[in-house]
Amino acid sequence: EWWLIKKAHENKRLYEGEKVMHWCSSCGTALAKHELEYKNVKDDSIFLKFKVKGKKNEYLIIWTTTPWTIPYNLGVMVNPEEEYVKAKVGDEIWIVAAKLAGVFIQGVADAEYKVTETVKGEDLEGLEYEHPLYDELKGVYDKLKKESSKVHTVLLSKEYVDVSSGSGLVHTAPGCGPEDYEVGHEYGIPPFNNLDENGKFPKEMGKYKGMTAKKDDKKFIEDFKKKKVLVESTPVEHEYAHCWRCHSPVVFRTTKQWFFKIEDLKEKMRELNKKVKWEPDWAGSRQFDDWLNNLRDNSVTRQRYWGCPVPIWRCDKCDDYIVVGSVKELEKLGGKKPKDLHIPWIDDVEIKCRKCDTMMKRVPDILDVWVDAGTNSWTCLDYPTDKDRFKKLFPADFILEGKDQIRGWFNLLFVNSMVAMNKPSYKAVYMHGFVNDAKGRKMSKSLGNYILPGEVVDKYGADTFRYYSIGGANPGEDLNYNFEDMRLKHGNIMVLWNLHKFLVDVAKEAGNPVKFDEILMKDVLSVEERYIFSKLNSTINKVTGFFENFELNEVPAAIEELFLELSRTYIQLVREKSSLGDKQEKEIVAFTLYNVLMGCLKLFSTIAPFATEKIYLNLKEEFNLKKESIHLCSWPEADEKMIDEELENNIDIVKDVIQGILYAREKLQQGLRWPLKEAIVVSKDKEIVEAVEKLDNIIKTQTNTKELNVQESLPGVKEKVKADYGKIGPEFEKKSSKVIAHISTHSADTILNKIREEGKYEFELDGEKAVLTRDHLIIERDVPEPYAEAEIKGGLVYADSSMDDELEAEGYSREVMRRVQSLRKKAGLEKQDKIVLFVGVDEDLVESLGIWKDQIKLKCGADNIRITDEKAARKHEFTDKAKIKDYEFRIAFDKA
């Protein structure tokens, strides 16, 4: 911080000035603009009448929401371009804006009036008035009048006077607000405000001595009422500044502070800001640009005890001062180094004045804490000590913070860097929102809707919270937190965990996948491996792009999609190959699982560092990996040759078809273990037809279907259309009944064919063209037996429920296999443990099940199997009974 203050001084951007500052009476310190928080509050606004000097009953009517500032009133502002009227109200003449005369006099003051004269605002300039508190504060006001003849006169301001509310005449206290100060400065009026640091009026303010600014507003109003200058008091809801530390309402004081001179830099800063990559864009192009456009010289000193001492030593005799930029410089100038650089030890150091030989003492203020925060971009690089590191890494590639930092950290990083180095300190910004409850409400103790981070971490882990939070909301938008979404993300991390356990199991039979010949493996990949490798490499490209463009919220979903595909699609496709395939097939599965999972871990380590590290360390031990940590691995690079967009698209289509067939099975109440005789895909979409034809084996395997056909239609299906009243009513209104009648009296085929070909069906209605789309209709189909139907994107699927003896035999065999596997699990057997299996069935099934004998042995890990209608000759170690459809089954086995 000291180096920054020194650089600001050298660059002629540090000065001491008397300015009107927001002041917190509770904290006893000045506040900069970025330290204010605004709240909607209800205050008493007042209309007062100021008597025009030299006129018996003529008054300026002013309006204010800060009654406590009236003792500091030194002028009245009007808009030079607006018209003002002199309105006769009873025995008095009131001067108000013409546009507000009726609203104010009749609406607020509840009085009748007559306009006697209309003048332009500019004609009122210089008009003198008598301050209503002149008798109490005569000495104060006379002294100020000697300093400036413009005191207690009408001033002009086009910028700060509008006539949308109030009276059109603005009470002006140059010591009580930046706008008032600016106008007062133009007219040479001093910024009078002698409140003490506790916000209290001093003894010079007569009977108001000891009253507290803002807090005693009602006392001031009561006094104005007694003096008969109060026209009306009305409640008003408006935004009011509060202290960011203690949240108390602030007031204004005229104080001496040290400032960074930055107002002349704001246009350059706005131009430089356009080169910063903001996410979201509007945070930079609108919000931060607006902030920069309204930038004011920044006060950097505070009247506090704790904090970084201001490194300025001043001579009380000649007022010369020195700015110290480092501890080394202080030791050289002061002859000693204090044991601590904070108050009070720092104040023991005195420096000999270079002009008059008097000993300089340190200016007693401290630096604003935000000055400290704004130096982070170079202090973290140990600059100015380490210049090489600074040259290499400054400015920062990327910073991230919440939306409240537009006026805070984002601002001070920019300002401090401009003051010291005349360039921004960052290249890109990601701005996130806040965390609200599930209903979008701000979390608070009073509502009882707050959630402690520790509670979330204890239940789901830090990784789950990061994973959920990063992807849970768009940049700049708030996250509406709920435990259900968090639970789902935790479940997804467990999917990743189970994937690595599955890989280890597969590798026990296949061997260490790290040692496999990569070139040889890639030459013999099946379609399912080519798909998941394509998905991996396209995801690497996608995630890398998201990071490079700082679209952080998009990252989790992209990685999640990859490892869920690995689990739900790839493993499902190769489950049989991984357990019952030959040596090469098992090696291919292990090789694929390892490489895709490792890619997932490298990508996901940025989101879930703990879980990915634990999984990696397990794999490191299992497969003797070289890198000590997942976080020491290089970022993955996509192999463009492995990307097959057409295959990825085809698999997406096939997954949709599979889901459609499975849904049709549900309608038939036919479980997956029972084979379908036929499934039919009905579509005219070329992409769907080609995908199904190319990957028909996958569909048949995953749906247990014997025959798969693609057709343009299924004979015997009859379509009916009905009007969707909920859609037609709001659109066609009074003509709805005629539209519904048209639909019911015209051919469904005609209507639907037009919609399928052209996207709409047109017909004449009362001499005008009416248009129907698919959304206006409810389509029903009568499907002939033995089929069940399900919709897919771009078509339909039909499942044939016909069942012959051969299909039934397969179904019973699959049911037996499942039950044997279940019994093996209950028995605690491992995959490699062999059994001797006995299956007792009805004599009707002995022969048909016998055909599946070898398949049952293979899948159930049986060395021997006996299928019979006889009772077991002896008692077996493990037994079970099951009823499958109409038949009783007896299953038993012993360890081989």
Lowest mean pLDDT, pick from 103-107, 246-250, 289-293, 513-517: 103-107
- The total number of residues written for the chain in this structure: 896
Does residue 344 have a cis bond before it (omega within 30 degrees)? yes
Pairing of strands 230-243, 153-156: unpaired
Mean pLDDT of 280-284: 95
Average pLDDT, the chain: 92
pLDDT of 108:
75
Mean pLDDT of 787-811: 93
The torsion defined by the Cα of 560, 562, 568 and 571, in degrees rounded to 10, comes to -140
3-state secondary structure of 495: helix
* pLDDT tens column, 512-543: 999 888 888 888 899 999 999 999 999 999 99
Inter-residue long-range contacts of 514-523, CB under 8 Å, 24+ positions, other chains counted: 514/594, 514/623, 514/624, 514/625, 516/587, 516/590, 516/591, 518/591, 521/587, 521/588, 521/591, 522/642
Pairing of strands 58-64, 92-97: parallel
pLDDT of 399:
95
Q: Are 116 and 110 spatial neighbours (Cβ–Cβ below 8 Å)? A: no
Q: 370 pLDDT exceeds 90?
A: no
Pairing of strands 92-97, 83-89: antiparallel
Q: 893 pLDDT exceeds 80?
A: yes
The neighbour count for residue 355, using CB atoms within 10 Å, is 11
Tokens 């904290």 belong to 27
Q: Comparing C-alpha atoms, which of 38, 40, 39, 30 is closest to residue 370?
A: 30
pLDDT band at residue 225 under the 50/70/90 scheme: very high
First to last CA, the chain: 79
Q: Using CB atoms within 10 Å of the CB of residue 193, give its burial: 0 to 12 exposed, 13 to 18 middle, 19+ buried.
A: buried
User: Whole-angstrom Cα distance, residue 477 to residue 701?
Assistant: 45
* pLDDT tens column, 255-273: 888 999 999 999 999 999 9
Residue with more model confidence, 166 or 148: 148
Task: Extract the tokens encoding 758.
Answer: 């052209």
* pLDDT tens column, 721-735: 999 999 999 999 999
pLDDT of 30:
82
Contact residues for 333 (Cβ-Cβ < 8 A; gap 6+):
313, 322, 324, 351, 352
pLDDT band at residue 28 under the 50/70/90 scheme: confident
Name the β-bridge partners of 306.
none
* pLDDT tens column, 391-432: 999 999 999 999 989 988 999 999 999 999 999 999 999 999
Q: 82 pLDDT exceeds 80?
A: yes
User: Whole-angstrom Cα distance, residue 352 to residue 523?
Assistant: 82
Widest distance between CA atoms in the chain: 129
User: Whole-angstrom Cα distance, residue 778 to residue 719?
Assistant: 10
Sequence-ordered alpha helix ranges (H) in 303-433: 327-334, 369-373, 376-379, 387-393, 409-421
User: Whole-angstrom Cα distance, residue 571 to residue 563?
Assistant: 11
Mean pLDDT of 39-49: 89
Q: Comparing C-alpha atoms, which of 182, 244, 220 is closest to residue 22?
A: 244
User: Whole-angstrom Cα distance, residue 337 to residue 330?
Assistant: 7
User: Whole-angstrom Cα distance, residue 620 to residue 504?
Assistant: 11
Cα radius of gyration rounded to whole Å, the chain: 41
Q: 718 pLDDT exceeds 70?
A: yes
Q: 873 pLDDT exceeds 70?
A: no
Tokens 């871990």 belong to 601
Name the β-bridge partners of 52.
129
Tokens 């005799």 belong to 317
3-state secondary structure of 763: strand
Q: Are 854 and 865 spatial neighbours (Cβ–Cβ below 8 Å)? A: no
The strand ranges marked E within 501-583 are none
Question: What pTM value is reported for the model?
Answer: 0.76
The neighbour count for residue 665, using CB atoms within 10 Å, is 22
Q: Comparing C-alpha atoms, which of 338, 341, 350 is closest to residue 314?
A: 350
